[in-house]
Amino acid sequence: MRILVVEDERKVADFVKRGLQEAQHVVDAAASIAEAEDLVSGQDYDLLIIDCMLPDGDGRHFCRDLRARGVAISVLLLTAKASTADKVVGLDSGADDYVTKPFNFIELLARVRALGRRRAAVPMGQLSIADLSIDSQRHRVLVLELLVSHTEKVLTRMEIIQQVWDMNFDPNSNVVDVVIKSLRDKIDRNFVPKLIHTVRGSGYIVSTNS
């Protein structure tokens, strides 16, 4: 799995990161919520391990904010607070599991494996066309997901921007064209049939028809 450890105590972060890497996981680390936000926005993680007490906020609030934005990454909270009430607050914030400090790394690793199995067992939103399948949970394929879910229908650049970014972009922005070029390089360049087509003056369409 690709895991992000959000922990401001350097020794703890290094210990957890090293142990997870030895267990064949790909691991990044962040020392603050702000740093974690930047990493989450640019990478596809399977699990976030978040300390509750961070220099720029409460890890539980960070988890709640992620869930409010529809981020479905698994979350395991680390905290020194061991009361039942604290655990309930943590889990109700949207966390999938809760580990109290000090912890035995063997137990932490077992919980990571359990979350990995749980994630694998949950059917992700799968869309397919021809011989291509995509996982709708991955934000980097949101444009492709949108096009595939509207197969044989032309979507304008503005429709794509509003659905994927939910922001008021400059209508003259080429952000959609850049993303489409990247998608074509990945899924169309060496494959037949070509799936992504440009409809001049209108927008883009996913179709198996040339």
Specify the residue for token string 């489409």.
Answer: 180
Does this model's pTM top 0.75? My answer is: no
**Nearest to 206, CA basis, from 95, 112, 127, 123:** 127
Q: How far apart are CA 109 and CA 121, in angstroms?
A: 18
Domain residue extents for the chain: 2-121, 126-206
Answer for the pair 88, 20: CB distance below 8 angstroms, yes or no: no
In the prediction, which pLDDT does 135 show? 47
Separation of alpha carbons 92 and 60, rounded Å:
9
The residue type found at 99 is V
Q: Which of 193, 169, 164 is nearest to 179 (CA)?
A: 164
d(CA 86, CA 84): 5
Q: Does pLDDT of 77 surpass 90?
A: yes
Confidence band, pLDDT 50/70/90 cuts, at residue 108? very high
2-121 CATH: 3.40.50.2300
Structure tokens at 41: 């926005």
- At the second CATH level, the architecture of 126-206 is Orthogonal Bundle (1.10)
Assess whether the region 2-121 and the region 126-206 belong to the same CATH fold: no
